[in-house]
Amino acid sequence: MDKVKVGIIGSAFVSNLHAEAFQEVPQAEIVAACSPNKDHVEEFARKWKIPSALTDYRKLMDRKDVDVVAVGVPNDLHREIVVAAAEAGKHIILDKPMAHTLEDADAMLAACQKHKAKLMYAETICFSPKYVRAKQLVAENAIGDLYMAKQGEKHSGPHSDWFYDVNRSGGGALMDMGCHGIEWARWIYGKPKIKSVTAHCQLVYHKGRTRGDDNSVVILEFENGGIAVIEDSWARHGGMDDRCELYGTGGVIHCDLLRGSAMETYSSKGYGYAVEKAGGTKGWTFTVFEEAYLYGFPHEMRHFIRCVLGEEELMETGEDGRATLEIIYAAYESAATGKRISWPYKPQNPGQVPITPWLNR
């Protein structure tokens, strides 16, 4: 196989980042894009010079020239598309979170195992160059023994309406963004077993738009003694803020994922784009550049394509996505009950969306 032929499912924000990332992977070729909105997917295909635009993902699955599908669709559609892809013999790159229920996640894993399809969990911040360098420093013992990791991702709310519908998304900011920090924390510590989860959730800003949380704090305790603090918000103004802190017995690392590589711009009239979720561009702003690169999208896609070619071992798997989702269930249960949730843990209703206990509190 000279090149891996890719079909992109989705044509909104994250699919644009996927398409941009594949431009940096010479071993990949995008041969088709698919989205139910005909005008939207045709414009998407023109933008990225993709030769075929489809409105039915089943037709994409029928194509013999598609080896891998990159899935960037609402959470409640993940199971249907991933199972269909596995049954069609396609490998799958799946954007976070894995699914909107654990029941769906298990069905997806079972289908991929049955049909020998690779399920590659697209958790970008585990590929972000700055965060990768931080992990290398931890591995070098540059800061001594790591005992606390903090990661936060905050902005003023998602682009699309479906995020605010908990029946489709599975939850609020904790589900949407906490999945990043939770998997990052597992990765930075070397994926040890979880010991306990404690969380608090709030709805402070989007009260007229969602029943879900728009601000959350999660504390993870690992069996190796390390802890992680994960902070996520849809209530923070001024554009995306993504950063981490690593504390060791011999030092500390601070990473600002976007602003450390941004320009400072003053504009009296404003301009087109500053950074993801920026509320406006008048006055002083941080203007990001090479956004997809900073997030790690090209790096993860390069890795996934090499995994399909058998050149690398898969770093982020469907099992990792499931482990993160299980922690999210525990976090919402903790936020609902005010209790620390200890492992081993199994949610009582894995077929219900994770936020259910918090909604019923």
pLDDT in tens, 308-322: 999 999 999 999 999
What whole-number distance in Å separates Cα of residue 93 and Cα of residue 110? 16
Cβ neighbours of residue 166 closer than 8 Å, sequence gap 6 or more: 172, 210, 211, 212, 353, 355, 359
Cβ neighbours of residue 212 closer than 8 Å, sequence gap 6 or more: 164, 166, 169, 171, 172, 173, 175, 203, 355, 359
> What is the domain partition of the chain in residue ranges?
4-123, 126-296+323-342
126-296+323-342 fold: Dihydrodipicolinate Reductase; domain 2 (3.30.360)
The 3-state DSSP class for residue 360 equals coil
Q: Which CATH number fits domain 4-123: 1.20.1250.20, 3.40.50.720, 3.30.750.210, 3.60.15.30?
A: 3.40.50.720
Written as one letter, the residue type at 49 is K
Left, alpha or beta for 58 (phi > 0: left; psi -120 to 50: alpha)? Answer: alpha
Look-up: residue for tokens 């510590």? 189
Left, alpha or beta for 17 (phi > 0: left; psi -120 to 50: alpha)? Answer: alpha
Residue 154 and residue 231 in contact, taking contact as beta carbons nearer than 8 Å: yes
* Distance spanning both ends of the chain, measured CA to CA: 53
Q: What is the pLDDT along the chain (361 residues), one digit of tens a residue?
A: 789 999 999 999 999 999 999 999 999 999 999 999 999 999 999 999 999 999 999 999 999 999 999 999 999 999 999 999 999 999 999 999 999 999 999 999 999 999 999 999 999 999 999 999 999 999 999 999 999 999 999 999 998 999 999 999 999 999 999 999 999 999 999 999 999 999 999 999 999 999 999 999 999 999 999 999 999 999 999 889 999 999 999 999 999 988 776 678 888 888 888 888 887 889 988 888 788 888 999 999 999 999 999 999 999 999 999 999 999 999 999 999 999 999 999 999 999 999 999 999 9
